[in-house]
Every structure is written in C-alpha cells, then in structure tokens.
Structure 1
Amino acid sequence: MSIIDDFIEQSNDPMPSYSSSSFFVDSVGFEPSDPVMLETGFVSMGLAEDDSRVFALDRVQFQFPAQLRTMAVSNEILIMALETNHILRIDLQQAHEVEDIEIPRKQSEVKIYKTFFDPTGRHLLITTEQGENFYLFEKWKKAKPLSKFKGIVIESVAWNKAAGTSSDSSTKKILIGTRNGLIFEAEIEPTDEYFKREEKFCKQVYSIQENLPITGLRFEPFIVTPRKYFIVATTPTRIYQFIGMAQPQADYDGASMFENLFAKYETNPGFQELPGDLPYSELHFFTPYQDIQYQGTPKTFAWLTGPGIYHGNLVFGSQDVGDSVIDSAHLLPYPASPSETDPTTVVSEIPVSIALTEFHFILLYKERIRAICQLNDQIVYEELIPLKAGEEVRTMTVDTVKNTFWIYTDLSIFELIITREDRDVWRLYLDRQAFDTALQYCKNPAQCDKVLTTRADYYFSQGRYALSAQSYAQSAVAFEEVTLKFVERDERDALREYLLSKLDKLRRGDQIQRMMIATWLVEIYLNKINMLEDQTAASAGSDEARNFLAEQKFLEEEFRVFLDTHKANLDKRTTYNLIASHGRVDELLFYATIIGDYEKVISNWIQEKDYKKALDVLSKQASVDLFYKFAPVLMENAPYDTVNVWMRQTELNPRNLIPALLKYDHSKSTENATQNQAIRYLQFVVRELNNTDPAIHNFLLTLYATQSAQDESALLQFLATEGRKPHYNLDYALRLCSRQSGKMQSCVHIYSNMGLYEEAVDLALKHNDLELAKINADKPEDDEALRKKLWLKIARHVVEKKKDIKTAMEYLHDCELLKIEDILPFFPDFVLIDDFKDEICAALEDYNIHIEELKAEMEEATKSAESIRDDIRELRCRFAVVSTNEKCSLCDFPMLTRQFYIFPCQHGFHSDCLINKVKHHLNPRQIRRILELQEKIAHEISNINHAVTKPLAKPQSQPGGLDLLKGLILPDLAANSGDDVAVVVPKVDQLKDELDDLVASECILCGDIMIKTIEQPFIGPEETDLLASWAV
C-alpha cells in the first residue's frame, strides 16, 4: 500500500512557520560563539511561568587525534571511529580514561563506514566501505575480523533484548541489514580462544528483491504471545512489516530463529511506500520505559524519508501474518526555512538525521538543529550549530538506555540536553480539549486547576452538567459562583453532584462548611424523592411511571448511603425536622438507626404497635438501659418474643427486669398461654446463667408457689435443684409455702433443708405421708439418736394411729437402729403375741450370737496380750557380738576405744562419729536438740561421778569415761553410791533414749538417709579447691 496520497494532502497544508524576529544570540558550549537560536511554542501564558530552556546544546571538550568518522553511545559508553581506523572508547562515568583500539587493517586498505553499538554497551560491530567487518567486545583491546561477514556492507542492526538479561556474553540472535537489500540472522559470541570464531551463527533469511540499503531494522516480541514477533525494516522509500511465530527458544542455538517467519512473506511482502529521491533514511523508536535489565515495548516510531517524517503509534494486539502493528500514522512535511540565496523565500530542507523523544522530533541539518512538537507540529526550538571553518556535520546518535542525545561533526561532539520536555505539554493537550491527558502532565496545582476549570466550563457549555459539576468540585472556582450557575439553570441533579464532590474534598476540620453542605444535600435529596413520587403517582400504569419508580428507589438508596456516610456532618435535630417535614418516615427511622438513636426507633414501632420490629431493633443495639426502659410494655404485649430477646442478651441484670416481670399477668396472656414467660426467663437465668442473686431466686420461688395448679412438682424440682445451700431465703420460702394450699411436700422439703427434721417428719405424719416421713427420718445420717427418735415417731404413729402392728414391725428391717424392745412400749397392754412372735425370737437369737462374739473377742485379746509379753521378754535377751578388732564404719578406728552404736545390719559407729555425720541430714531444730541432750547428759554424768567417788574417798583418782559408761550400763556397780545415783541414773537413761531416737533411729549407711544422698554430687562445693589441686 502506498501512502503518497496522504503525503500529497499534508504537503498542501501550510508549513510550520516562525517569526524571524525570534532569533537571538546565546553562548553555547565551551567556546565563545554567536549562534542564532530560535525557541518557540510551549509559552507560559501567565500561569506558572518558567523561563528555563527545554533544549540546550553543549559542546563536549575533547581534542581529536584525527577526524571523526562515526560515533555511537550506549549505556554511557561512547565509541568514536576515526579516519585513521582507530576506535576510541570512553566510559562517561570516567571520562578522563580513553581507550585507543586499533582496527587490524591499514588505513589504505579499508575505510570505516559505520559502527553499531548494542544497548548494553558491550557489543560493537564495525563495517567498512570495502565490506570488511569487525567485532569488539567490552573489555577487548583489539577488534577481531568477522570472516563470515566478509563482503557485506552493514547498513542496520536489530539487537536482541534478551542479551541484556542473559548471563552469558553472546549477542543472542540479531538481524543485520545490508547495503544491497539482504537481511541476515546472526549470533556473535566473544571468545578468547585463538582458533575459535566469534560468528556462532550467520544466515541470510530474507531479501527485498531490490538493490536498496536496509536503512532501519528492529524486531519486538508480542507481550501476550512471547513467541510471536514483529519485525520492521526500512529502505529509503519503503517500510516493511513482518509478523509471525519464531522458532522455540530451545532451538535457537541450532537453527534460525526468524527463517520461518520471513518465509511467509517471500511472495507477498507487506510494505508501504513513500516515493522520493533521498538516498538515505533513518528509523527511530521511542520506548517509555528503558532499562538494560528490562527494555520496554516501543510506543511510537519515526521514519525519516524524502517527503517528510512518517510517524505513528505501535499497537501490539492479536495481529497475524499480513497485519500491521502501525496505528494512527501521519506524514509530517519538513518545515520551511529561509533560502540561503534569497532570505525572502522559504524552502523545505531535508534533515541529515532525526531523533525521537516522547513529545518532539529532533531534526539535524547541516548547520542547525530543530525540535518540532509532536502535539501541534510547531517548531519549538532551533539553534545554529557553532561550526568551525571547514567543519562538517556528520549525524546524530542516541543513548536509548540513558536517553541522551549526541550530535557530532568531523571535528566536534555536542550533547543536546533536554530538560523537562513535558513542562508545557499540559497546555497543548488542554488546547486540544484532551483534558484527562492534560491533567496527567500538570506539574503544580495551578496548572491542574486551570485544566479542571476549562473542562468544567466546556462541559457546562455543552449541557453536560453532571460532568461539569464533577470538574467544578475539583477546581478552585468560587463555591457561590458554581452553585448559582446550576441554580439559575435549575439543574438540581448537577448541583447535588457538585455538592457531594465538594463535601468529599473538604477537610475534616471545616465542620461548619461540611454541616451546611450536608444539610443542603438532605433538602435536595428529599425534594427530588418527593418529586419522583409525585411523578410516579401522576403517570400510574405507564412505562414512564415504572421508570420514575426505579429512579426513586435508586435515589432513596443513594440518600441512605449519603446519610450513613455523612451522619457526623449533620445536626441531628435539624435533620429530624427536615425529614419529618417531608413525611419520609422510613428515612427518618433509618437516620435514627445509623446515628444510634434506637430509643426513637423503638418508640416509633411501639407507637405503631409493631412489637416484633421494636424487639428486632432492640436486639441489635448494645445499650442495656433501653432493655430495662421498654421491658414493661414489651413484656405486657409480646411476652414470648421479649423473653427470647432477653435470653440472647446474657449481659442483662435480671434484678432490673423484675418490675416488668411483676407487671406481666400470665392469666391475661393469649400468647403461648400454657407457659408462664416470667418463669421461663427466670429458669433460664438460674439454670443456664447460674445466677445466685437471692432476689431472683425468691421471686422465682414466689412464681412457682403462687401458681394456681395443684401439682407442686415444678416447685419441688426447683427446691431440689437448689440443694442443701439454697440461694433463696428459707424462712420466706416456708412462710410462703405454708400459706399456699397443696404445698405440703414443699414445706417438708424446706423444713429438711433448715435441719428441722422433727418438724418435717411431724408434718408428713400429720398428712399421713409415711413415705415422705421415712425419707426425712433417714436424712440426719450423723445423728443416730435423732434418726432413732424420728423412726420411733413413725412407728408410734403407725401403731397408735393406724393400729397396724405388722407394718410397725417391718420398720425393724428399714432402720437398723430400731429393736423390738424399742417399739414394744407402743403396743397396747393386751395384744396377741402372734404378730411379733418371730421378731421376739429373732431378737433373742441375735443377743445370743452377740454374746458369743464378745466371748471370742475376749479370748483373742487374752492371747494377743500373752504374745506381746513373750516378745518383750525376748527383746530383753537380744544382743550383738563385737570383736576386739571391729572398726568404726566412718573413722576406721577400733570400735571399743569409745562409746559406739551397733545396728542389726552389723554396721558399727562411734557415737561422736555418728552424731557428726547425722547432723548434716537434720534440720536446725533437731541439731539444737542434740546439742542440748549432749550437754544435759554430760552434766548428769558429772553428778554421778561425784556421787560415786565421794564414799570411796579416792579424790586423787577420777573415774574414766569407760567407768562411767559401765555405771550407766550396769547400775549395780553404782549401788553403793547412795540415793543420789539412784535418782540420777534413770534421768540419764531417758536423755540417752531421746538422743538415740535422733541419731540412731536407722543405720546411716543402709537407711533413708543414704537413699536421699543419691541427689548429691560426688564432689561437693567444699571440695572444689581439692579438685583444682589435682588438675594437670
């Protein structure tokens, strides 16, 4: 398809013009110069004015060793190819370091034609006029020839985005356009091996069948279908599009990636043509988001052709073979410039090179540079390039990753610095009435307000009042001005929309303004609802009435949402009055509900006698005070449902509900008349909630006792459930039940709970209830005398009142405490013995058996006493043999050297050794007692010593400890000591026995003390130093 017709139409349009008076001189770069510059468009019209320049041309200070042939910049790496076939590589982050790389060919043999730098800044292709091609990797110091590419003059390269995210160093599959219209697919992988080539893959995949250079080439994957690719190629007059599926990723290394895709276009290539005589062209793309790790999909493109700049959008969707990705394409003719020969005439000049930004086309000419705004096709910037004599402009290159623009000549390099190019874009979109887009590019509130105000005025003039209201609400237009506009046009709906939006945007601190607007909105809503209601009634039965009704329902729902959202901004009294004045009862109740005024809602339903709704509202609120307030009226009119609600509210205090329960008259209730609702609720409180309030229990008892029914089973069940420690008052319960007829069993139960068993039995016997009397007679289990007395009462009643001797005799079996002799006094003086002859005989037999048992017990006791006496005699003769060489088990010294203890286990200990060892296992009180005993024994032994030695008149000879021990063990030796010794020795024996109990109750090596030492460590704290002394 040719677009020459479109070009002809646009070429007839007036050319973009400029005023010659706009030229002015400015110093550019680092050298003094007098360039002529033009900058128009994007003029601030008195709103947020900014005089800073969007475009600025700066000269780069660099001394070239030879003329510059070509240049490329990628990822802040700058490559310059010189006429001497040297390559200069500069990292712009370290611009002072310049790498000089030589092409391995003499200058006389080859001449560098172009260089192609991938976006990552790692791979560089160098092509020459003679068809020699070289490859330079990022760290290499020397370029390597590509033998497979020999004879190919490269005009364009389509780099693979996957190389930026790959961990290896290859270029992945790339496309190469040649001077003679061929497209090659290749992959280059750098290697340090001498015999290994870098060309991993190289194959021709397409030919345009014309001897024209492929001036532009690029491929992009479809986002939704990654295997589908879009390829675009250009010649000086044609633009080709290829869409199709590429080979799977797994097969890329061994086969062509795009061969099958191009095969679909062998016979029917898809292209568009712009005829012209221009021998060159350029293809550029703009990507909104560009990064090495993630290079976004291009959004727009621009193609430099002879007739003009062909540009448009790229839309990736569901296109297939033969379809186009290009959308909304236009041809922009080149702007006219004053003729060099005749300044009064203007001619169109074709640029040497172009570049594409988000909003501008950058046009490079032989002596100047221009920027044309894409939004209005106006020249917004023009500047003369400060060239030296004989200096020639080469072309322009772009770092697509860092979005920098570079212009170079054969002797100089310039950077075109673009600052905030979207600064005034908002105004251009505003002029085109693209309001939403204009808002996206606003930089400050003043600009946003200008757009919003203009949009609001535009919609208002078009009669689109709702949209106008939304924009006015966001703008800074005076509130009074906007509201008057809508009031004058009687646009209440738009006014409502405006007020709603304005209310949402007011600060919370603006309480008065928020309240006024919210109140006004309530009035507007109510008027609108009533108007729709009147219109519905006026057109009843028609389709229009149904529409009015639907709108009314929708508006009522919207009004309720408004009330719920802005209830905090409304005055309760004013809102009540407004809604009530319009007769909107449902809305009034809704408003009362959302603000928590449940009392008003409940009162309304009670007034309407709709108690179920009143209870429904009551159950959904949390204030217990309302339960208490409305309890009497609800209990009187809907007792069953009221009790149901109460039972769900466990936090209620039943005591506060007693007045309502007292007012309830079950006899007058027609609702669930078989059940007393007051009793039902109190049963729930007592049984389920475990209430122990005496007032509640007394009231429930009263309700049970005062029921007209003669059956007292419910009352008895309640009394039984209360147990032995009831929560009701026993005296009150007894008085209450005593006054009620038919409550005898309850009175008996209460007497029993009070411990008045005689009264309970008497009352039961009074009413001839023998079973009840028997039950209560058995209750005093711990008082056998009382039990016997109560049973005798029952027996006497049976004998004396009922004259039933046989039944009385049966009580002998029911109560083991009664004997025949106990009830015989109740019998008449003259009675036949036949009725109780067997019982008398049985009693005599029992006495005989009991006497025999006592005899046997006496004989057994006599035998036991004799056995104990024998054991005592044997114990007196028990002894242990201690040899002379026996040693103490603790100190290992001879046993007989000091007092000692011997145990049945044959362990022997000196008394002092045993005492010292046992002390560690006794409590402080026991240790103090041992010391006291030792002191007392020593004192008494001293008294004995004095009494024994005095009659013997041997003062010079003091008895030894062994003699004293003998005196203690063999008292006969001290018989001559007189009465003093006879008194002291028993006392010493008593003290010694107590000491023995403390220290010799068990063997220290065999008893419980030894077992308890299992928890003690082998090395004690006091042995730490000793353990440390053995450390090596």
Structure 2
Amino acid sequence: MVICEARPAGRRDSDLSPMAYDPSGGYAAAASNVQDSFDPSLPVFDVQRVQLRFDISSDFVAAQVANNVLILALSTGRILRFDLDSPEDIDDIDLPKKPSEIGVIRRLFLDPSASHLVISTTQGENYYLHTQSRTPKPLARLKGVQIESIAWNPSQPTASTREILIGASDGNIYETYIEPSTEFYRREEKYLKTLYNVQDGPVVGLSVDLSSDARSVLVATPTKLLLFVGKGGRQDSGSIYPRLLERETPVIHNLKDATPGPSTLVNISEAADATLSESAQENVFAWLNSQGVFHGDFAAMVQSAETSPFSAAKLLPKSVIPPSQTSGGRNKPSVEPTSSIALTQFHILHLVEGRVVAINRLDGSLVYDQLVLEPGNAPLGLYADHKKNTYWLFTQREIFEVVVTDEARDVWKIMLRNEQFDAASRYAKTAAQKDAVATASGDHLVSRGRFSEAATVYGRSTKPFEEVALTFIDQGEQDALRKYLLTKLSVLKKSSTMQRVMVASWLVELFMAKLNLLDDTISAKAELSEAAPIANVQEDLPSMRREFQEFVTKYRSDLDRKTTYELISSHGREEELLYFANVIDDYNYVLSYW
C-alpha cells in the first residue's frame, strides 16, 4: 500500500497532517485548498514535505502532476503513476527498453486532464502512454527529437490528443496527432508536420488559444517570444496549425542583453477561481528568462496583436528576489538565477537555490521566502496542477507540496489601489472590505463628476450620511441626492424607524421640487422662441411622476401621513396629493378634497 502524507518540518506525527491518506476517501488534498472559510492568521503559502511510505529504489529523474494524477520517472526507466485520491493503487510501469539502450528519462509531458503522457529520453527516444494503458508505445515519427515543450489541445480530449504542438531543442515546432492503438504495427502518431524553426535555440514553451476566430500561438525561446495570430484550419480538417505558423508573420519580443540560464514558459488557460465570470478570467502566461519573469494576459495580447501586443505584459526583474544568505547569515553578493517557476492564481512561485519564493504578480510584492532544500538535494522543479489548484516541488528523492491558503485574501486591496473597483468588489469578502471598496469607488466617481453613479455606490456604503448629502448639495446635484437617498432607504434596516421616516420625508420634498422645476421649465420654454426644444422636458415630467408614484407605493409605511400631506400641499401638487391619499387608503381625504 502506498500512503502519502505531508508534514511541515518539526511537526509531530500526532499532529494533523494537511495531506494524508484517509481510509474512507483516499488521498486528501490539503485542507486549505478545500475549505470555504479560512483562518486569516495562516500564511498564504506553506511548503510541506510529503512522506512517501514506499521504498524508493532509485532517484527521481522527472515528474509531472495534473488532475490529481502524479507521475514519477525513476533513473531505472520505471514510471510510477498514481491517483492522489487512491494512492494505494499504484501503476508501476516499465519502458520497453532499458536506459542503457534508449537513455535515461529526461522529461515528462502530461496534459491537463492527465489522459496523455509523453515520455522523452536523453537519446531522443519518445513514448506515449494513455491513462488507461500500462504499456508505453514508441513514437516512431518523433524518434531523435529532443522534446522541450508541448502545447496540448485546448479542448482537452481524452480518447486522443487531437492536434498538438511540440517544441524541440533544435528550434523546430511540429504538429502531431496521437491516437492510442491496439494494433501492433500501427503508429500512434497519425502524422508529424514540421511547421517552423525559431533559429536561435530550443523551444522552451508553447501556448495556444483556439477559443476565438483568431487562432493564436505563443512560442518561447530563452531569448525571445513569438506571437502568431491568424486563421488556422478547422479542428476537423486533419491539421489546424500549418496555415497559422507557415503563413503568418509573428510579432516578436526580443530579450535585450540576454545571458545563458534556465528558461521556460508556463500558463494558466483556465481560471483557478471558478466563481469568477468569464469576463473576469484570464489566460495568464509567465516566461522565465535571464532577466526575470515576463508575464501577462495571453488573451489581451491577442486582442492587441496588430498594435503592440507585448506592451501590456510586465517584467518581474530578478532583483525582486532577495539574495540568498551564507551560513553566517550574510547576504550573498549576487542573486542566484531562478531555476524553475510555477503560476498560481495571483502569484509566481520561484525556485531559487533551494528556496521557494512567492511574488504577487499583480503588484510585485514579496509574499513568501523560505529555504526548503538542503545543499545537495537536487531539485527537478516546481509543478502546478491547475485543475485541482495544487502546487508541487520535486527533487531527486523527495516531494513537497506548496500548500496555498486563501490566496485571494489581499487581492481586493491591490485592485482598490489600482482603482479597479469592479474587480476589488468581486474579491472583497467581508462587510468591512466591501464597504471600503464602495466608499473609495464613490469618491473616485465624484472626483470624475459622475455623480449619478456615485450616488448608488455611496448608498450601499457606510460613508457618513451627512457628508455624502452635503457633497451632492454643494455640487447642486439634486438628482444624484435623490438617487442616493432612494438607495440608502432601500438598505436601511426596518428597525431604524426614525431614519427611514426622515429619509422618506426628504425624498418627498426632493420629488416635489423636481416636478415643479420641470413644470416651470416647460412653461418658460413655451414663452421663448419657437426654436427652443421642450420635447425632452415634456418626456421627463411623466417619467418623474411615475418614479414618485412608485416611491410612494413602495415606501408608504415609511411616510408620516401629516408630514407628507404638508410637504406636497406646500408645493401645490394636487395630482400627487390625491395619489398619496389613495395609496394610504385615506378615502375621507379624497372625498373632502373634492
């Protein structure tokens, strides 16, 4: 039986483990990833060692994780595959030939659904393994190709890979279509087409977007990004990328003063927060290069492809990573390069000389910096399972989980500072947070002269009533004041009787003043030249009457009878006076009036 547990350093075995085998439900993900409410005192990130309760006969040489499936490749050519929900059921798989014949496994590529695994060795031998198979099949057409990256089909098919892109160490980009077959002599790849060569190094990353009419492919090398945008073939036409990569001229972002070092491209094509609307979701990418991490929104780049697609992306310079310390506690004179990165919903995880460092990609702030690996513990890299929102660090002998707790807790503050009020409102969770956003949003709208919009926002905030009212009065914005009072009345508690009566009475006064103003405007314009337009005002009058009638009907219980009669009478509004009397069923008043 295979049992995996994760415990932070120094935790006793008797303590609650955030990753442990539960006999009733298998492998339980970290509690912080599944709870609906979080303890704000817990850190956003916490790296915890996974205890592997099975013998490791040899070093890990490659790893991958997706859709709660974890794949480990050993130096002996063995592949261990297990579902984290049922870790006792392990698939122990051997490649068809020994490492002495085909080389050691160097890379694993697992699609987001964990249906398709591509295995690449040091001698350019490549194999395919389907999730329902225990027999890796050689990819004969890809023999000799050192695979560096794969862009899986965005539709995430499970029976076959459909059309995928493969980036190689020699700069070539291929399209292929892998379909599992039970026939011994049939090749797994339906075809292999060479589409493009980047000329100056390996293709360290590929990302595709086929969701719109404009197909797009983002290609990364250690020194540049290439963005292809155009029309590709249909997904049922047998090949979809040649038309795009062979005919379109890419927009290129070159890295100035590039130096040798680790490089990769990672992306999140699905929003980690499923509660967000489609318009709020991002297709985020991050490109590790010698200068830092260049990151942005892939979809936004595509939309501005004809102008300056890379201008909206930002470079997170390597200088934001604090220097490592010597054994004596002093800062090292130079910053070690980042060897691996992973994207979470709002942060970029860096692996720097045994440290896991988390930088908020929205504002560049340092959120976490922890030394995890002892000297000599060679890392394989950071990995992300974006379907399950779990994040991992693999070394040659150990596995760690980067446990994430309430990652979005401070996002509302960042959005608020950036005056992104709609986004800030989405991420604000507590009443105090929502109120802070509403108040700041209202202040911003007032500063822009958008008083009507500010009125609604202020009405749902706790900004002092008198302060808001005076703001609209001083600006002569009676319509905005009326809108603010209506909104405030709609949210006041029923138990706040005196406040509700006061606000309702003030609204009656404002309605009467507005109706008289409209009557006077119509009369005045009628006496002027015939060219004076009065149509709009004539339309406003019945509209305002209807608004008043709706107000009286809805809030009649908040209107003091005597005060309301006096207010309406003082403005000489007979029609409104009789309407109010009818609404409150004061038929004696109606009869006596006539």
Q: Compute the TM-score of the two structures, normalised by the length of structure 1.
A: 0.49
Confirm whether residue 99 of structure 1 aligns to residue 91 of structure 2.
yes
**Aligned equivalent of 1:199, options 182, 189, 200:** 189
Confirm whether residue 273 of structure 1 aligns to residue 277 of structure 2.
no
Q: Shift of residue 327 of structure 1?
A: 6.7
**Aligned equivalent of 1:187, options 155, 177, 198:** 177
**Aligned equivalent of 1:284, options 234, 249, 266:** 266
Contact 1:78/1:91 (8 A) holds in 2:
yes
Task: Identify the structure with bigger relative contact order (alpha carbons < 8 Å, sequence gap 6+).
Answer: 2
Contact 1:58/1:417 (8 A) holds in 2:
yes
Q: Shift of residue 390 of structure 1?
A: 2.0
AA of the residue aligned to 1:505: V
Structure 1 stretch 434-443 or stretch 417-426: which is displaced more? 434-443
Confirm whether residue 310 of structure 1 aligns to residue 310 of structure 2.
no
Confirm whether residue 355 of structure 1 aligns to residue 342 of structure 2.
yes
Q: Shift of residue 78 of structure 1?
A: 0.9
Confirm whether residue 338 of structure 1 aligns to residue 323 of structure 2.
yes
Alignment correspondent of 2:45: 55
Confirm whether residue 161 of structure 1 aligns to residue 154 of structure 2.
yes
Contact 1:285/1:298 (8 A) holds in 2:
no
**Aligned equivalent of 1:264, options 247, 259, 266:** 247
Q: Shift of residue 501 of structure 1?
A: 0.9
CA distance in 2, matches of 1:407, 1:262: 34
CA distance in 2, matches of 1:386, 1:305: 23
Q: Shift of residue 568 of structure 1?
A: 4.0
- CA change 1:561–1:448 in 2 (3 A) is same
- CA change 1:317–1:451 in 2 (3 A) is closer
Contact 2:124/2:145 (8 A) holds in 1:
yes
CA distance in 2, matches of 1:531, 1:349: 72
Alignment correspondent of 2:27: none
CA distance in 2, matches of 1:259, 1:394: 34
The structure with more strand, counted as a fraction of residues: 2
Alignment correspondent of 1:134: 127
**Aligned equivalent of 2:117, options 119, 124, 134:** 124
**Aligned equivalent of 1:411, options 385, 391, 397:** 397
SS in 1 for 2:424: helix
Contact 1:123/1:171 (8 A) holds in 2:
yes
Confirm whether residue 499 of structure 1 aligns to residue 488 of structure 2.
no
- CA change 1:574–1:145 in 2 (3 A) is same
**Aligned equivalent of 2:369, options 372, 382, 388:** 382
Q: Shift of residue 185 of structure 1?
A: 1.3
CA distance in 2, matches of 1:307, 1:444: 39
Q: Shift of residue 596 of structure 1?
A: 5.4
- CA change 1:385–1:352 in 2 (3 A) is same
- CA change 1:126–1:291 in 2 (3 A) is farther
Q: How many residues align?
A: 549
Report 1:1007-1026 matches (<5 A).
none
Contact 2:139/2:188 (8 A) holds in 1:
yes
CA distance in 2, matches of 1:577, 1:337: 71
Contact 1:336/1:349 (8 A) holds in 2:
no
- CA change 1:113–1:505 in 2 (3 A) is same
CA distance in 2, matches of 1:314, 1:602: 71
Contact 2:324/2:336 (8 A) holds in 1:
no
Q: Shift of residue 418 of structure 1?
A: 0.8
Q: Shift of residue 522 of structure 1?
A: 0.7
Alignment correspondent of 1:563: 552
Provide structure 1 residue ranges, at least 5 long, that are not aligned to the other structure: 1-25, 33-47, 608-1032
Confirm whether residue 582 of structure 1 aligns to residue 567 of structure 2.
no
The structure with more helix, counted as a fraction of residues: 1
CA distance in 2, matches of 1:193, 1:339: 55
After superposition, the C-alpha distances for 1:293-330 in whole angstroms (9 at most, x for unaligned) are xxx98522111111221111233799699778667212
- CA change 1:347–1:466 in 2 (3 A) is farther
After superposition, the C-alpha distances for 1:252-307 in whole angstroms (9 at most, x for unaligned) are 2xxx3322222213xx4432211312344211222344799xxx985221111112
SS in 2 for 1:433: coil
AA of the residue aligned to 1:218: S
**Aligned equivalent of 1:178, options 143, 168, 184:** 168
Alignment correspondent of 2:144: 151
Confirm whether residue 215 of structure 1 aligns to residue 208 of structure 2.
no
Task: Give the aligned CA root-mean-square deviation in angstroms.
Answer: 3.5
Q: Shift of residue 411 of structure 1?
A: 1.6
Alignment correspondent of 2:26: none
Contact 1:30/1:58 (8 A) holds in 2:
no
Contact 1:183/1:206 (8 A) holds in 2:
yes
Provide structure 2 residue ranges, at least 5 long, that are not aligned to the other structure: 1-6, 14-37
After superposition, the C-alpha distances for 1:482-512 in whole angstroms (9 at most, x for unaligned) are 4466567775444322221111113445555
- CA change 1:149–1:549 in 2 (3 A) is closer
AA of the residue aligned to 1:424: D
- CA change 1:314–1:580 in 2 (3 A) is same
SS in 2 for 1:476: coil
Alignment correspondent of 1:364: 351
Q: Shift of residue 517 of structure 1?
A: 2.0
Alignment correspondent of 2:33: none
- CA change 1:318–1:306 in 2 (3 A) is closer
CA distance in 1, matches of 2:586, 2:184: 92
Contact 1:535/1:548 (8 A) holds in 2:
no
Q: Shift of residue 156 of structure 1?
A: 0.6
Alignment correspondent of 2:63: 71
CA distance in 2, matches of 1:31, 1:410: 25
Q: Shift of residue 466 of structure 1?
A: 4.2
CA distance in 1, matches of 2:571, 2:114: 76
- CA change 1:455–1:96 in 2 (3 A) is same
Q: Shift of residue 351 of structure 1?
A: 0.8
CA distance in 1, matches of 2:139, 2:444: 64
After superposition, the C-alpha distances for 1:161-198 in whole angstroms (9 at most, x for unaligned) are 3443x5xx222121111110111111222223322222
Confirm whether residue 395 of structure 1 aligns to residue 381 of structure 2.
yes
CA distance in 2, matches of 1:337, 1:573: 71
After superposition, the C-alpha distances for 1:175-222 in whole angstroms (9 at most, x for unaligned) are 1111101111112222233222222222222222x1511111122213
Contact 1:314/1:327 (8 A) holds in 2:
no
SS in 2 for 1:338: coil
**Aligned equivalent of 1:300, options 261, 284, 287:** 284
Alignment correspondent of 2:21: none
SS in 2 for 1:94: coil
- CA change 1:480–1:159 in 2 (3 A) is same
Q: Shift of residue 379 of structure 1?
A: 0.5
Confirm whether residue 432 of structure 1 aligns to residue 418 of structure 2.
yes
Contact 1:243/1:320 (8 A) holds in 2:
no
- CA change 1:231–1:487 in 2 (3 A) is closer
Alignment correspondent of 2:312: 328
- CA change 1:118–1:344 in 2 (3 A) is closer
CA distance in 2, matches of 1:308, 1:471: 40
Larger Rg belongs to = 1
After superposition, the C-alpha distances for 1:25-84 in whole angstroms (9 at most, x for unaligned) are x9537699xxxxxxxxxxxxxxx9921111010111125221111100111111111122
CA distance in 2, matches of 1:397, 1:366: 16
- CA change 1:482–1:340 in 2 (3 A) is closer
CA distance in 1, matches of 2:9, 2:532: 73
CA distance in 1, matches of 2:333, 2:453: 47
SS in 2 for 1:579: helix
Structure 1 stretch 282-291 or stretch 349-358: which is displaced more? 282-291
Contact 2:294/2:315 (8 A) holds in 1:
yes
- CA change 1:323–1:215 in 2 (3 A) is farther
Report 1:1021-1032 matches (<5 A).
none
CA distance in 2, matches of 1:435, 1:104: 57
CA distance in 1, matches of 2:302, 2:259: 36
AA of the residue aligned to 1:363: H
AA of the residue aligned to 1:562: F
SS in 1 for 2:174: strand
